């Protein structure tokens, strides 16, 4: 699949978008939770629609490391 997403619980204090340039990672706050988006180096043009939970979890871990 072209990138993976993970949804985290709503955090009202988070009112900004984070784009981690060079790491293909983004976090977008929504009313129903935080959306974490990650893309791999070869995701463009990838037609595979398989889900990859490990890829999503790794993206959340990279996001957490930014705030550690």
Which sequence spans correspond to the domains of the chain? Answer: 4-66
Predicted model pTM = 0.77
Locate 50 and state its tokens: 């398989």
Which helix H or strand E contains 64, and what residues bound it?
helix 53-66
Predicted confidence at residue 68, as pLDDT, reads: 86
Q: How far apart are CA 57 and CA 13, in angstroms?
A: 23
Q: Kindly tell me if the per-residue pLDDT of 1 is higher than 70.
A: no
pLDDT in tens, 10-59: 999 999 999 998 888 999 999 999 999 887 666 667 777 777 788 889 89
């Amino acid at each position: 699949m072209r990138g993976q997403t993970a949804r985290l619980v709503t955090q009202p204090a988070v009112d900004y978008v984070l784009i981690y340039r060079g790491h293909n990672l983004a976090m977008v706050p929504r009313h129903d939770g935080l959306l974490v988006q990650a893309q791999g180096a070869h995701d463009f043009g990838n037609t595979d629609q398989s889900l990859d939970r490990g890829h999503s979890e790794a993206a959340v871990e990279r996001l957490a490391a930014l705030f550690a």
